[in-house]
A and B are shown apart, each in its own frame.
Chain A
């Protein structure tokens, strides 16, 4: 009885370990092939990167705008409310809010939203192609699916995450200033003080946007490529893409923040 239990236990642990290492190896291979594919200019369909950039931007513009402006307003409202109870001095709200947004909040929040919106789309599209054997048909046509499907999305995602991040930072600061001015009477000149924002903040914020923008298509593309059979498989791949892309963004954000704090700041 005990022997059987131990055998089953170690078999299950072994199976899980092997599958984790296999997944890590596949993800690494996909990543390497993506980086190699960036330089295969001849394999790229004309206008494909622009098309994907439009898809990513268009799909996420409203979502990012509404969520981040609402979040900016709520954050500033809460901060001003608490300060009013203690000192009543609102002069530091704007500068600290702007610094925090650029350094930390905007990159991770923009990327998390793109992970749900864009990541799910990439995994569903590639996953559907996998279950209908279109990926095999691509290989038969002399086309590398990673080169053809993931690399354009990878380049477009890096570019658009960066652009959307800058847009989101501007929007969230404007929304915060609007809330501070109309609810607590904070003067716009007092709010819009950028003295606290250092080059380090800008470098860390930009690095995060670039890193998150590259992680989303890699992880989502991997989830699409490893879709199991059937429409249920596509659903599972899409869910995995959202969860794993979000996790990748959180982990990268943590690493970049830690390195940034130790070196730049």
Chain B
């Protein structure tokens, strides 16, 4: 039971973003896909759920190749692999409870008369039950993130993808989101891929790290191996220094 990338390439027009990504995450494991901004981390994970199609290469979800699937064929994959978007992406026109109820209803996860109860239970799980009737514009970023996590959990997924879950949050909220991700992964046994460049998150909760650099996986291994690496590029990323061998897009 795993998600596997095999030599995945992705170009937007003439711009080559991914130049051969190969990596995998097992169920029950937390994999951090890390790297500098604009390196293609979010682009990488969006291929799993068909929001982007690779130029070449293959992606497998529990042994099923997904790169050639059509939009409708992705529906079972999207029930199995949920995503929490970078900006939370809650639906503005729906209140918090309805945001959770929508995927429950459309994916027919629970019977119609149980949808509201299930949505409330998921909100309780992320500590947002008091905000069920408010609209996304009325709550803070940290709260939105928790609601987005509850919405992802609504699908009862085997895997969850987090796109920069702590970006834009204060340090306390960020660590609370980390704690929530860790608890969900361990309690539910879901495979988790977290796109991030937030070092406290990376070294706090990851089981495995895959570093994207120049369109390829530059490093894949445990966080201990990553921290102990003598590689100058990895050391520059850890120390966050502006001078060094690492090239960053746009600089």
Which residues on A are within 8 Å of B, measured CB to CB? 129, 132-134, 136-144
Contact = CB atoms under 8 A, between A and B. Distances in A.
A134 B79 CA distance: 17
A35 B79 CA distance: 27
B78 A140 contact: yes
B170 interface: no
15 contacts: A132-B87, A133-B85, A136-B89, A137-B83, A138-B91, A139-B74, A139-B78, A140-B82, A140-B103, A141-B151, A142-B75, A142-B79, A142-B103, A143-B102, A143-B106
Given A136-B51, A140-B103, A144-B71, 9 more contacts: A132-B89, A134-B90, A136-B83, A136-B85, A137-B151, A139-B71, A140-B82, A140-B83, A141-B102
Contact of B107 (A137, A142, A144): A142
B156 interface: no
Interface string B55-76: 0000000000000000100110
B49 interface: yes
Nearest to A149: B93
Interface residues of B, number: 22
Interface string B117-129: 0000000000000
Interface string B202-237: 000000000000000000000000000000000000
A140 B102 contact: no
B113 interface: no
A129 B107 CA distance: 21
A17 to B, nearest CB: 15
A136 B45 CA distance: 13
A243 B79 CA distance: 39
A133 B106 contact: no
A79 B159 CA distance: 72
Interface centre among A129, A134, A140, A142 (most CB of B within 10 A): A140
B92 interface: yes
Nearest to A135: B89
Nearest to A136: B51
B26 interface: no
Contact of A133 (B82, B87, B103, B107): B87
Interface centre among B85, B89, B103 (most CB of A within 10 A): B89
Nearest to A144: B71
A134 B102 contact: no
B13 to A, nearest CB: 10
Contact of A142 (B46, B78, B87, B92): B78
Nearest to B51: A136
B106 A141 contact: yes
Contacts of A138: 91
Contacts of B74: 139
A137 B75 contact: no
A134 B91 CA distance: 6
B173 interface: no
A137 B91 contact: yes
Contacts of B87: 132-133
Contacts of B89: 132-134, 136-137
A140 B49 contact: yes
A144 B78 CA distance: 13
A133 B78 contact: no
Interface string B93-110: 000000000110011000
A133 B86 contact: yes
Contacts of A141: 102-103, 106-107, 151
Interface string B159-200: 000000000000000000000000000000000000000000
Contacts of B107: 141-142
Interface centre among B74, B82, B106, B151 (most CB of A within 10 A): B106
Nearest to B52: A136
Nearest to A128: B92
Contacts of A142: 75, 78-79, 103, 106-107
B55 to A, nearest CB: 16
B12 to A, nearest CB: 11
A142 B101 CA distance: 12
